[in-house]
Structure 1
Protein backbone atom coordinates (compact mmCIF):
# COMPACT_ATOMS: atom_id res chain seq x y z
CA UNK A 1 0.00 0.00 0.00
CA UNK A 2 2.79 2.34 0.93
CA UNK A 3 4.68 1.41 -2.27
CA UNK A 4 1.61 2.12 -4.39
CA UNK A 5 1.14 5.49 -2.70
CA UNK A 6 4.82 6.32 -3.18
CA UNK A 7 4.66 5.50 -6.90
CA UNK A 8 1.53 7.57 -7.27
CA UNK A 9 3.19 10.48 -5.49
CA UNK A 10 6.29 10.30 -7.68
CA UNK A 11 4.14 10.13 -10.81
CA UNK A 12 2.15 13.16 -9.72
CA UNK A 13 5.35 15.07 -9.01
CA UNK A 14 6.80 14.23 -12.45
CA UNK A 15 3.60 15.30 -14.16
CA UNK A 16 3.66 18.59 -12.31
CA UNK A 17 7.31 19.19 -13.26
CA UNK A 18 6.54 18.30 -16.87
CA UNK A 19 3.66 20.73 -17.00
CA UNK A 20 5.86 23.47 -15.60
CA UNK A 21 8.56 22.76 -18.17
CA UNK A 22 6.07 22.77 -21.03
CA UNK A 23 4.36 25.99 -19.96
CA UNK A 24 7.55 27.74 -18.87
CA UNK A 25 9.41 27.39 -22.19
CA UNK A 26 7.13 28.17 -25.14
CA UNK A 27 8.69 28.32 -28.59
CA UNK A 28 10.02 31.77 -29.33
CA UNK A 29 8.00 33.49 -32.02
CA UNK A 30 9.89 34.85 -35.01
CA UNK A 31 10.05 38.65 -35.13
CA UNK A 32 7.44 40.16 -37.46
CA UNK A 33 8.48 40.49 -41.07
CA UNK A 34 11.01 37.64 -41.04
CA UNK A 35 11.02 35.70 -44.31
CA UNK A 36 11.51 31.96 -44.50
CA UNK A 37 14.11 32.41 -47.27
CA UNK A 38 16.28 35.50 -47.83
CA UNK A 39 17.72 35.48 -51.36
CA UNK A 40 20.83 37.57 -51.89
CA UNK A 41 21.21 38.08 -55.64
CA UNK A 42 24.44 39.57 -57.02
CA UNK A 43 24.22 41.02 -60.56
CA UNK A 44 27.07 40.75 -63.03
CA UNK A 45 29.61 43.34 -64.16
CA UNK A 46 28.09 46.70 -65.13
CA UNK A 47 24.69 45.72 -63.73
CA UNK A 48 23.14 47.05 -60.52
CA UNK A 49 20.13 46.84 -58.24
CA UNK A 50 17.93 48.99 -60.46
CA UNK A 51 18.95 47.10 -63.58
CA UNK A 52 20.01 43.66 -62.34
CA UNK A 53 20.02 41.88 -65.71
CA UNK A 54 19.09 38.21 -65.65
CA UNK A 55 19.16 38.23 -61.85
CA UNK A 56 15.87 40.12 -62.04
CA UNK A 57 14.27 37.24 -63.95
CA UNK A 58 15.88 34.56 -61.79
CA UNK A 59 14.45 36.08 -58.61
CA UNK A 60 11.06 37.45 -59.71
CA UNK A 61 7.91 36.02 -58.13
CA UNK A 62 9.57 33.54 -55.77
CA UNK A 63 6.61 33.48 -53.40
CA UNK A 64 5.34 35.23 -50.25
CA UNK A 65 7.73 33.45 -47.88
CA UNK A 66 10.82 34.58 -49.81
CA UNK A 67 12.43 38.02 -49.74
CA UNK A 68 14.90 39.08 -52.44
CA UNK A 69 17.71 41.58 -51.97
CA UNK A 70 19.94 42.66 -54.85
CA UNK A 71 23.46 43.23 -53.57
CA UNK A 72 24.87 46.60 -54.53
CA UNK A 73 28.58 46.95 -55.40
CA UNK A 74 30.75 48.70 -57.98
CA UNK A 75 30.30 45.90 -60.56
CA UNK A 76 33.29 47.13 -62.55
CA UNK A 77 36.42 45.44 -63.88
CA UNK A 78 39.01 47.85 -65.27
CA UNK A 79 41.40 50.38 -63.66
CA UNK A 80 39.75 53.33 -65.44
CA UNK A 81 36.38 52.46 -63.88
CA UNK A 82 35.36 52.75 -60.23
CA UNK A 83 37.39 49.70 -59.20
CA UNK A 84 39.47 46.91 -60.70
CA UNK A 85 37.86 43.47 -60.79
CA UNK A 86 39.44 42.17 -57.58
CA UNK A 87 38.40 45.22 -55.55
CA UNK A 88 34.90 45.25 -57.05
CA UNK A 89 34.35 41.57 -56.26
CA UNK A 90 35.72 41.98 -52.73
CA UNK A 91 33.13 44.71 -52.18
CA UNK A 92 30.38 42.38 -53.39
CA UNK A 93 31.58 39.63 -51.03
CA UNK A 94 31.68 42.00 -48.05
CA UNK A 95 28.26 43.50 -48.80
CA UNK A 96 26.69 40.07 -49.24
CA UNK A 97 28.02 38.80 -45.93
CA UNK A 98 26.96 42.01 -44.20
CA UNK A 99 23.37 41.72 -45.47
CA UNK A 100 23.18 38.04 -44.55
CA UNK A 101 24.52 38.54 -41.02
CA UNK A 102 22.21 41.50 -40.42
CA UNK A 103 19.18 39.42 -41.44
CA UNK A 104 20.20 36.38 -39.38
CA UNK A 105 20.75 38.45 -36.25
CA UNK A 106 17.22 39.85 -36.52
CA UNK A 107 15.62 36.65 -37.85
CA UNK A 108 17.56 33.60 -36.59
CA UNK A 109 15.09 31.20 -38.21
CA UNK A 110 15.53 32.65 -41.69
CA UNK A 111 17.71 30.74 -44.14
CA UNK A 112 19.94 32.37 -46.73
CA UNK A 113 20.06 31.62 -50.46
CA UNK A 114 22.84 32.94 -52.70
CA UNK A 115 22.74 33.49 -56.43
CA UNK A 116 24.75 35.50 -58.93
CA UNK A 117 25.73 35.91 -62.55
CA UNK A 118 29.28 36.35 -63.89
CA UNK A 119 31.20 38.58 -61.44
CA UNK A 120 28.19 38.24 -59.15
CA UNK A 121 28.48 34.45 -59.33
CA UNK A 122 32.19 34.80 -58.55
CA UNK A 123 31.33 36.73 -55.37
CA UNK A 124 28.37 34.55 -54.36
CA UNK A 125 30.49 31.44 -54.82
CA UNK A 126 33.26 32.87 -52.64
CA UNK A 127 30.74 33.63 -49.88
CA UNK A 128 29.30 30.11 -50.14
CA UNK A 129 32.81 28.64 -49.97
CA UNK A 130 33.68 30.67 -46.87
CA UNK A 131 30.49 29.54 -45.16
CA UNK A 132 30.79 25.91 -46.23
CA UNK A 133 34.37 25.58 -45.04
CA UNK A 134 33.79 27.27 -41.68
CA UNK A 135 35.57 30.55 -42.46
CA UNK A 136 32.52 32.78 -42.01
CA UNK A 137 30.31 33.87 -39.14
CA UNK A 138 27.35 32.24 -40.89
CA UNK A 139 26.86 28.51 -40.29
CA UNK A 140 26.51 26.10 -43.26
CA UNK A 141 23.10 24.99 -41.97
CA UNK A 142 21.81 28.55 -42.38
CA UNK A 143 22.29 28.34 -46.16
CA UNK A 144 19.25 26.95 -47.99
CA UNK A 145 20.85 26.84 -51.43
CA UNK A 146 23.24 28.37 -53.94
CA UNK A 147 22.90 28.73 -57.71
CA UNK A 148 25.68 30.31 -59.78
CA UNK A 149 25.45 31.26 -63.46
CA UNK A 150 28.64 31.73 -65.53
CA UNK A 151 30.89 31.51 -62.47
CA UNK A 152 34.51 32.46 -63.35
CA UNK A 153 35.68 30.18 -60.52
CA UNK A 154 33.66 27.14 -61.50
CA UNK A 155 35.31 23.87 -60.53
CA UNK A 156 34.96 20.38 -61.95
CA UNK A 157 33.97 19.36 -58.42
CA UNK A 158 30.92 21.66 -58.41
CA UNK A 159 27.42 20.34 -59.02
CA UNK A 160 26.89 21.16 -62.68
CA UNK A 161 23.42 21.66 -64.17
CA UNK A 162 23.52 21.20 -67.93
CA UNK A 163 25.87 19.48 -70.39
CA UNK A 164 29.23 18.10 -69.26
CA UNK A 165 32.25 20.42 -69.53
CA UNK A 166 35.99 19.81 -69.88
CA UNK A 167 37.35 23.13 -68.61
CA UNK A 168 37.00 25.23 -65.46
CA UNK A 169 36.50 28.89 -64.64
CA UNK A 170 38.91 31.49 -66.03
CA UNK A 171 39.81 32.64 -62.53
CA UNK A 172 40.71 29.16 -61.32
CA UNK A 173 38.62 26.95 -59.03
CA UNK A 174 38.15 27.65 -55.34
CA UNK A 175 40.74 25.31 -53.86
CA UNK A 176 38.74 24.80 -50.66
CA UNK A 177 35.55 23.99 -52.59
CA UNK A 178 32.08 24.49 -51.15
CA UNK A 179 32.52 22.32 -48.08
CA UNK A 180 29.31 21.52 -46.21
CA UNK A 181 27.29 23.71 -48.58
CA UNK A 182 28.19 21.61 -51.65
CA UNK A 183 25.09 19.35 -51.62
CA UNK A 184 22.90 22.48 -51.92
CA UNK A 185 25.10 24.44 -54.36
CA UNK A 186 24.69 24.30 -58.15
CA UNK A 187 26.46 25.87 -61.09
CA UNK A 188 25.40 26.57 -64.69
CA UNK A 189 27.78 27.24 -67.58
CA UNK A 190 27.19 27.37 -71.32
CA UNK A 191 29.97 25.22 -72.90
CA UNK A 192 31.23 28.05 -75.15
CA UNK A 193 31.45 30.57 -72.29
CA UNK A 194 35.18 30.98 -71.63
CA UNK A 195 34.55 32.84 -68.39
CA UNK A 196 33.34 29.63 -66.78
CA UNK A 197 34.77 26.99 -69.14
CA UNK A 198 38.40 27.69 -70.08
CA UNK A 199 40.29 24.66 -71.45
CA UNK A 200 42.84 23.46 -68.92
CA UNK A 201 45.71 23.92 -71.42
CA UNK A 202 44.90 27.62 -72.00
CA UNK A 203 47.51 28.62 -69.46
CA UNK A 204 47.95 32.21 -70.62
CA UNK A 205 44.18 32.78 -70.37
CA UNK A 206 44.20 31.20 -66.91
CA UNK A 207 47.09 33.40 -65.79
CA UNK A 208 45.24 36.50 -67.01
CA UNK A 209 42.16 35.31 -65.10
CA UNK A 210 44.28 34.77 -62.00
CA UNK A 211 45.70 38.28 -62.27
CA UNK A 212 42.16 39.70 -62.51
CA UNK A 213 41.08 37.75 -59.43
CA UNK A 214 44.09 38.95 -57.42
CA UNK A 215 44.00 42.60 -58.54
CA UNK A 216 43.85 44.75 -55.42
CA UNK A 217 44.52 41.68 -53.24
CA UNK A 218 42.98 41.18 -49.82
CA UNK A 219 45.78 40.54 -47.24
CA UNK A 220 43.81 37.78 -45.50
CA UNK A 221 43.61 35.89 -48.82
CA UNK A 222 47.36 35.85 -49.58
CA UNK A 223 47.70 32.15 -48.74
CA UNK A 224 44.82 31.37 -51.10
CA UNK A 225 46.41 33.40 -53.89
CA UNK A 226 49.72 31.59 -53.42
CA UNK A 227 47.99 28.21 -53.53
CA UNK A 228 46.17 29.11 -56.74
CA UNK A 229 49.39 30.30 -58.40
CA UNK A 230 51.08 27.09 -57.24
CA UNK A 231 48.33 25.00 -58.83
CA UNK A 232 48.88 26.65 -62.24
CA UNK A 233 52.66 26.22 -61.99
CA UNK A 234 52.27 22.58 -60.93
CA UNK A 235 50.09 21.81 -63.95
CA UNK A 236 52.57 23.53 -66.26
CA UNK A 237 55.43 21.54 -64.76
CA UNK A 238 53.70 18.19 -65.24
CA UNK A 239 53.32 18.86 -68.98
CA UNK A 240 56.93 17.90 -69.67
CA UNK A 241 59.46 20.16 -68.06
CA UNK A 242 60.89 23.60 -68.84
CA UNK A 243 60.73 23.15 -72.62
CA UNK A 244 57.00 22.53 -72.58
CA UNK A 245 56.47 25.49 -70.27
CA UNK A 246 58.22 27.74 -72.79
CA UNK A 247 55.97 26.39 -75.56
CA UNK A 248 52.80 26.94 -73.51
CA UNK A 249 53.76 30.53 -72.73
CA UNK A 250 55.03 31.34 -76.21
CA UNK A 251 53.77 34.13 -78.48
CA UNK A 252 52.20 31.51 -80.74
CA UNK A 253 50.07 30.08 -77.94
CA UNK A 254 49.26 33.60 -76.75
CA UNK A 255 47.99 34.62 -80.18
CA UNK A 256 45.96 31.41 -80.40
CA UNK A 257 44.24 32.12 -77.10
CA UNK A 258 43.72 35.80 -77.90
CA UNK A 259 41.95 34.79 -81.13
CA UNK A 260 39.82 32.24 -79.27
CA UNK A 261 38.86 34.79 -76.62
CA UNK A 262 38.06 37.41 -79.26
CA UNK A 263 35.81 34.92 -81.06
CA UNK A 264 34.14 34.12 -77.74
CA UNK A 265 33.42 37.79 -77.05
CA UNK A 266 31.99 38.31 -80.52
CA UNK A 267 29.82 35.18 -80.22
CA UNK A 268 27.88 36.55 -77.26
CA UNK A 269 28.10 33.15 -75.53
CA UNK A 270 28.33 34.85 -72.13
CA UNK A 271 24.87 36.35 -72.55
CA UNK A 272 22.77 33.42 -73.77
CA UNK A 273 21.49 32.12 -70.44
CA UNK A 274 17.93 33.22 -71.11
CA UNK A 275 17.82 30.75 -74.03
CA UNK A 276 20.50 28.19 -73.11
CA UNK A 277 18.72 24.96 -72.17
CA UNK A 278 20.11 22.98 -69.24
CA UNK A 279 17.29 20.44 -69.51
CA UNK A 280 15.01 19.73 -72.51
CA UNK A 281 12.71 22.76 -72.67
CA UNK A 282 14.20 24.37 -69.53
CA UNK A 283 16.54 27.37 -69.81
CA UNK A 284 19.25 28.28 -67.32
CA UNK A 285 17.21 31.20 -66.01
CA UNK A 286 14.10 29.03 -65.64
CA UNK A 287 16.01 26.31 -63.80
CA UNK A 288 17.59 28.82 -61.41
CA UNK A 289 14.20 30.44 -60.75
CA UNK A 290 12.57 27.08 -60.09
CA UNK A 291 15.35 26.04 -57.72
CA UNK A 292 15.07 29.22 -55.65
CA UNK A 293 11.26 29.12 -55.65
CA UNK A 294 11.38 25.58 -54.28
CA UNK A 295 13.49 26.48 -51.25
CA UNK A 296 10.56 27.90 -49.30
Structure 2
Protein backbone atom coordinates (compact mmCIF):
# COMPACT_ATOMS: atom_id res chain seq x y z
CA UNK A 1 0.00 0.00 0.00
CA UNK A 2 2.46 2.63 1.25
CA UNK A 3 2.41 6.02 -0.48
CA UNK A 4 0.16 4.97 -3.35
CA UNK A 5 -2.77 4.18 -1.06
CA UNK A 6 -1.98 7.25 1.01
CA UNK A 7 -2.46 9.35 -2.12
CA UNK A 8 -5.82 7.72 -2.76
CA UNK A 9 -6.93 8.37 0.81
CA UNK A 10 -5.81 11.97 0.70
CA UNK A 11 -7.50 12.58 -2.64
CA UNK A 12 -10.71 11.05 -1.33
CA UNK A 13 -10.59 13.21 1.76
CA UNK A 14 -9.93 16.38 -0.18
CA UNK A 15 -12.88 15.64 -2.42
CA UNK A 16 -15.12 15.10 0.58
CA UNK A 17 -15.70 11.46 -0.38
CA UNK A 18 -15.96 8.69 2.18
CA UNK A 19 -14.41 5.47 0.91
CA UNK A 20 -15.33 2.33 2.94
CA UNK A 21 -13.13 0.18 0.70
CA UNK A 22 -10.14 2.39 1.38
CA UNK A 23 -10.96 2.58 5.09
CA UNK A 24 -10.96 -1.22 5.27
CA UNK A 25 -7.31 -1.24 4.20
CA UNK A 26 -6.11 1.65 6.37
CA UNK A 27 -2.57 1.53 7.67
CA UNK A 28 -2.36 1.36 11.44
CA UNK A 29 0.02 4.34 11.26
CA UNK A 30 0.65 6.96 8.60
CA UNK A 31 3.84 9.02 8.61
CA UNK A 32 3.51 12.46 7.01
CA UNK A 33 6.90 13.66 5.80
CA UNK A 34 8.09 17.20 5.02
CA UNK A 35 11.54 17.80 3.54
CA UNK A 36 13.84 20.73 4.07
CA UNK A 37 15.20 23.46 1.85
CA UNK A 38 15.56 22.35 -1.80
CA UNK A 39 13.82 19.03 -1.02
CA UNK A 40 10.23 19.67 -2.15
CA UNK A 41 9.43 15.96 -2.40
CA UNK A 42 10.85 14.88 0.99
CA UNK A 43 13.47 12.64 -0.61
CA UNK A 44 15.46 12.70 2.63
CA UNK A 45 13.00 10.08 3.91
CA UNK A 46 13.47 7.62 1.02
CA UNK A 47 15.96 5.33 2.72
CA UNK A 48 13.79 4.59 5.73
CA UNK A 49 10.56 4.54 3.72
CA UNK A 50 11.90 1.49 1.88
CA UNK A 51 12.15 -0.47 5.14
CA UNK A 52 8.96 0.49 6.96
CA UNK A 53 7.21 -2.49 8.57
CA UNK A 54 3.80 -3.76 7.41
CA UNK A 55 0.97 -1.54 8.55
CA UNK A 56 3.05 1.65 8.48
CA UNK A 57 2.55 3.89 5.46
CA UNK A 58 3.97 7.23 4.42
CA UNK A 59 2.71 10.35 2.71
CA UNK A 60 5.18 12.86 1.28
CA UNK A 61 4.13 16.49 1.43
CA UNK A 62 5.10 18.40 -1.69
CA UNK A 63 5.75 22.14 -1.37
CA UNK A 64 8.19 24.67 -2.82
CA UNK A 65 10.86 24.22 -0.07
CA UNK A 66 12.29 27.61 -0.96
CA UNK A 67 14.00 30.41 1.02
CA UNK A 68 14.28 33.45 -1.25
CA UNK A 69 16.50 35.50 -1.30
CA UNK A 70 18.72 32.40 -1.12
CA UNK A 71 20.46 32.37 -4.54
CA UNK A 72 18.11 30.97 -7.17
CA UNK A 73 15.10 30.45 -4.91
CA UNK A 74 11.84 31.86 -6.32
CA UNK A 75 9.64 31.78 -3.18
CA UNK A 76 10.15 33.36 0.23
CA UNK A 77 10.48 31.25 3.36
CA UNK A 78 7.20 32.63 4.70
CA UNK A 79 5.25 31.77 1.55
CA UNK A 80 6.92 28.37 1.23
CA UNK A 81 6.13 27.47 4.85
CA UNK A 82 2.53 28.66 4.48
CA UNK A 83 2.17 26.47 1.38
CA UNK A 84 3.58 23.47 3.23
CA UNK A 85 1.36 24.04 6.26
CA UNK A 86 -1.79 24.19 4.14
CA UNK A 87 -0.87 21.05 2.20
CA UNK A 88 0.11 19.08 5.29
CA UNK A 89 -2.96 20.12 7.26
CA UNK A 90 -5.29 19.05 4.44
CA UNK A 91 -3.52 15.72 4.03
CA UNK A 92 -3.59 14.88 7.74
CA UNK A 93 -7.26 15.79 8.10
CA UNK A 94 -8.21 13.83 4.98
CA UNK A 95 -6.41 10.73 6.19
CA UNK A 96 -7.99 10.97 9.64
CA UNK A 97 -11.45 11.36 8.10
CA UNK A 98 -10.92 8.16 6.10
CA UNK A 99 -9.02 6.22 8.79
CA UNK A 100 -10.20 7.67 12.12
CA UNK A 101 -8.63 4.92 14.21
CA UNK A 102 -5.16 5.08 12.68
CA UNK A 103 -2.22 6.73 14.37
CA UNK A 104 -0.52 9.71 12.74
CA UNK A 105 3.15 10.70 12.86
CA UNK A 106 4.01 14.17 11.55
CA UNK A 107 7.70 14.59 10.77
CA UNK A 108 9.75 17.40 9.28
CA UNK A 109 13.38 18.20 8.65
CA UNK A 110 14.84 21.73 8.73
CA UNK A 111 12.40 24.04 6.89
CA UNK A 112 10.08 21.05 6.89
CA UNK A 113 10.34 21.00 10.68
CA UNK A 114 8.90 24.51 10.75
CA UNK A 115 5.99 23.25 8.65
CA UNK A 116 5.46 20.06 10.64
CA UNK A 117 5.95 21.77 14.00
CA UNK A 118 3.51 24.56 13.20
CA UNK A 119 0.85 22.04 12.20
CA UNK A 120 1.47 20.03 15.37
CA UNK A 121 1.16 23.24 17.39
CA UNK A 122 -2.16 24.06 15.71
CA UNK A 123 -3.57 20.55 16.18
CA UNK A 124 -2.59 20.34 19.84
CA UNK A 125 -5.67 20.56 21.98
CA UNK A 126 -7.85 21.54 19.02
CA UNK A 127 -10.04 18.45 19.39
CA UNK A 128 -10.04 17.97 15.63
CA UNK A 129 -7.94 14.81 15.99
CA UNK A 130 -7.47 13.09 19.37
CA UNK A 131 -4.09 14.00 20.83
CA UNK A 132 -3.36 10.37 21.65
CA UNK A 133 -3.43 9.48 17.94
CA UNK A 134 -0.75 12.02 16.98
CA UNK A 135 2.96 12.26 17.57
CA UNK A 136 5.67 14.37 15.98
CA UNK A 137 9.35 13.93 15.14
CA UNK A 138 11.27 17.07 14.19
CA UNK A 139 14.86 17.19 12.98
CA UNK A 140 16.90 20.43 12.95
CA UNK A 141 13.90 22.63 13.82
CA UNK A 142 14.61 26.39 13.50
CA UNK A 143 11.82 27.05 16.03
CA UNK A 144 13.03 24.52 18.59
CA UNK A 145 12.59 25.79 22.15
CA UNK A 146 15.74 25.86 24.25
CA UNK A 147 15.70 23.59 27.30
CA UNK A 148 16.41 25.00 30.78
CA UNK A 149 17.53 28.31 29.30
CA UNK A 150 19.84 26.67 26.76
CA UNK A 151 20.08 27.53 23.08
CA UNK A 152 16.99 27.11 20.94
CA UNK A 153 16.57 27.30 17.18
CA UNK A 154 17.80 30.21 15.13
CA UNK A 155 14.24 31.54 14.68
CA UNK A 156 14.07 31.91 18.48
CA UNK A 157 17.46 33.61 18.67
CA UNK A 158 17.89 36.15 15.85
CA UNK A 159 15.41 38.91 14.99
CA UNK A 160 13.65 39.35 11.67
CA UNK A 161 15.81 41.30 9.23
CA UNK A 162 14.93 40.11 5.72
CA UNK A 163 11.34 40.54 4.48
CA UNK A 164 9.83 37.12 3.85
CA UNK A 165 12.09 35.40 6.38
CA UNK A 166 10.10 36.02 9.54
CA UNK A 167 11.61 34.80 12.79
CA UNK A 168 8.57 33.57 14.69
CA UNK A 169 10.13 32.55 17.99
CA UNK A 170 9.44 29.32 19.88
CA UNK A 171 6.15 27.40 19.98
CA UNK A 172 4.85 24.58 22.10
CA UNK A 173 2.92 21.40 21.45
CA UNK A 174 0.58 21.17 24.42
CA UNK A 175 -0.22 17.55 25.21
CA UNK A 176 1.10 16.10 21.95
CA UNK A 177 4.07 13.74 22.01
CA UNK A 178 6.73 15.56 19.99
CA UNK A 179 10.41 14.63 19.88
CA UNK A 180 12.85 17.39 18.90
CA UNK A 181 16.17 15.99 17.62
CA UNK A 182 19.06 18.44 17.25
CA UNK A 183 22.82 18.20 16.73
CA UNK A 184 24.87 20.33 19.12
CA UNK A 185 26.79 21.95 16.25
CA UNK A 186 23.68 22.60 14.17
CA UNK A 187 23.14 26.35 14.34
CA UNK A 188 19.68 25.99 12.84
CA UNK A 189 18.24 24.24 15.89
CA UNK A 190 20.97 24.94 18.50
CA UNK A 191 21.83 28.62 18.11
CA UNK A 192 23.81 30.18 20.96
CA UNK A 193 22.98 33.75 21.97
CA UNK A 194 25.65 35.79 20.12
CA UNK A 195 25.64 38.43 22.85
CA UNK A 196 26.69 36.02 25.60
CA UNK A 197 28.49 33.38 23.52
CA UNK A 198 29.68 34.70 20.17
CA UNK A 199 32.05 31.77 19.59
CA UNK A 200 29.24 29.30 20.33
CA UNK A 201 27.07 31.12 17.80
CA UNK A 202 29.89 30.97 15.25
CA UNK A 203 30.23 27.23 15.90
CA UNK A 204 26.59 26.75 14.93
CA UNK A 205 27.08 28.62 11.66
CA UNK A 206 30.18 26.55 10.89
CA UNK A 207 28.40 23.33 11.79
CA UNK A 208 25.55 24.14 9.42
CA UNK A 209 27.96 24.32 6.47
CA UNK A 210 30.22 21.46 7.56
CA UNK A 211 27.61 18.70 7.70
CA UNK A 212 26.11 18.97 11.18
CA UNK A 213 22.68 19.89 9.87
CA UNK A 214 22.39 16.29 8.56
CA UNK A 215 20.49 13.62 10.49
CA UNK A 216 19.81 9.90 10.55
CA UNK A 217 16.14 10.32 9.75
CA UNK A 218 13.85 7.48 10.85
CA UNK A 219 10.67 8.82 12.47
CA UNK A 220 9.10 5.37 12.78
CA UNK A 221 11.90 4.38 15.18
CA UNK A 222 11.40 7.40 17.46
CA UNK A 223 9.14 7.16 20.48
CA UNK A 224 8.12 9.43 23.30
CA UNK A 225 8.50 13.17 23.51
CA UNK A 226 10.99 15.78 24.66
CA UNK A 227 14.27 17.17 23.47
CA UNK A 228 17.39 15.32 22.31
CA UNK A 229 20.61 17.26 21.73
CA UNK A 230 23.30 15.04 20.20
CA UNK A 231 26.72 15.93 21.61
CA UNK A 232 29.45 16.78 19.08
CA UNK A 233 33.02 18.03 19.12
CA UNK A 234 32.91 21.73 18.20
CA UNK A 235 33.85 23.09 14.80
CA UNK A 236 34.88 26.38 16.41
CA UNK A 237 36.25 26.07 19.96
CA UNK A 238 33.94 27.71 22.47
CA UNK A 239 33.00 27.56 26.13
CA UNK A 240 29.93 28.25 28.24
CA UNK A 241 28.04 31.51 27.81
CA UNK A 242 28.74 34.52 29.96
CA UNK A 243 26.80 34.11 33.24
CA UNK A 244 24.70 37.18 32.56
CA UNK A 245 20.89 37.35 32.22
CA UNK A 246 20.99 38.96 28.77
CA UNK A 247 18.04 38.18 26.48
CA UNK A 248 18.48 36.87 22.96
CA UNK A 249 18.60 39.32 20.05
CA UNK A 250 15.13 38.06 19.11
CA UNK A 251 13.81 39.18 22.49
CA UNK A 252 15.70 42.47 22.37
CA UNK A 253 15.32 43.65 18.78
CA UNK A 254 12.56 41.78 16.96
CA UNK A 255 10.09 44.30 15.60
CA UNK A 256 12.65 47.12 15.51
CA UNK A 257 14.03 46.79 11.99
CA UNK A 258 16.86 49.31 12.29
CA UNK A 259 18.26 47.93 15.53
CA UNK A 260 17.74 44.34 14.33
CA UNK A 261 19.60 45.01 11.08
CA UNK A 262 22.49 46.72 12.87
CA UNK A 263 22.74 43.91 15.41
CA UNK A 264 22.76 41.10 12.84
CA UNK A 265 25.34 42.95 10.71
CA UNK A 266 27.52 43.23 13.79
CA UNK A 267 27.28 39.51 14.57
CA UNK A 268 28.12 38.61 10.98
CA UNK A 269 31.19 40.84 11.00
CA UNK A 270 32.32 39.57 14.40
CA UNK A 271 32.16 35.84 13.58
CA UNK A 272 33.88 36.16 10.20
CA UNK A 273 37.46 36.05 11.53
CA UNK A 274 36.86 32.89 13.62
CA UNK A 275 35.06 30.85 10.95
CA UNK A 276 36.95 28.35 8.79
CA UNK A 277 37.77 30.10 5.48
CA UNK A 278 35.51 27.83 3.44
CA UNK A 279 32.57 28.75 5.67
CA UNK A 280 33.41 32.46 5.68
CA UNK A 281 33.24 32.48 1.89
CA UNK A 282 29.74 30.97 1.95
CA UNK A 283 28.01 33.33 4.38
CA UNK A 284 25.97 34.70 1.47
CA UNK A 285 24.23 31.29 1.47
CA UNK A 286 23.10 31.71 5.09
CA UNK A 287 19.95 33.82 4.71
CA UNK A 288 19.54 34.49 8.44
CA UNK A 289 22.75 36.56 8.34
CA UNK A 290 22.18 38.57 5.15
CA UNK A 291 25.38 39.87 3.59
CA UNK A 292 23.77 43.02 2.27
2 CA distance for matches of 1:58 and 1:264?
Answer: 32
Structure with greater helix percent: 1
Task: Confirm or deny that 1:64 pairs with 2:54.
Answer: yes
Of 243, 248, 252, the match for 1:236: 252
Residues 153, 174 of structure 1: 8 Å contact kept: yes
Task: Confirm or deny that 1:55 pairs with 2:69.
Answer: no
Equivalent residue runs for 1:200-211 within 5 Å: 200-201=193-194
Equivalent residue runs for 1:1-296 within 5 Å: 31-49=23-41, 52-79=42-69, 81-134=73-126, 137-143=128-134, 145-157=135-147, 166-172=150-156, 175-181=170-176, 184-201=177-194, 235-236=251-252, 249=263, 252-257=266-271
2 CA distance for matches of 1:86 and 1:261?
Answer: 29
Distance change (3 Å), C-alpha of 1:236 and 1:59: same
2 CA distance for matches of 1:48 and 1:233?
Answer: 31
Please list the CA deviations of residues 23-74 of structure 1 after superposition, one character each: whole Å capped at 9, or x if unmatched: xxxxx9992221110100101111132xx34322343322111110110000
Task: Please provide the CA RMSD for this pair.
Answer: 3.7
Note the residue ranges of structure 1 that are not aligned, 5 or more in a row. 1-27, 159-164, 206-230, 238-244, 269-296
- CA shift, 1:115, in A, is 0.9
Residues 194, 261 of structure 1: 8 Å contact kept: no
2 CA distance for matches of 1:254 and 1:142?
Answer: 44
Residues 44, 75 of structure 1: 8 Å contact kept: yes
2 CA distance for matches of 1:263 and 1:180?
Answer: 45
Distance change (3 Å), C-alpha of 1:267 and 1:113: farther
- CA shift, 1:166, in A, is 3.5
**How many matched pairs?**
196
Q: Give the alignment's TM-score, normalised by structure 2.
A: 0.57
Distance change (3 Å), C-alpha of 1:264 and 1:116: farther
Residues 116, 147 of structure 1: 8 Å contact kept: yes
Please list the CA deviations of residues 9-30 of structure 1 after superposition, one character each: whole Å capped at 9, or x if unmatched: xxxxxxxxxxxxxxxxxxx999
Greater C-alpha radius of gyration? 1
2 CA distance for matches of 1:265 and 1:133?
Answer: 42
Distance change (3 Å), C-alpha of 1:47 and 1:251: closer
- CA shift, 1:169, in A, is 0.5
- CA shift, 1:266, in A, is 7.2
- CA shift, 1:202, in A, is 5.4
1:171 match: secondary structure: helix
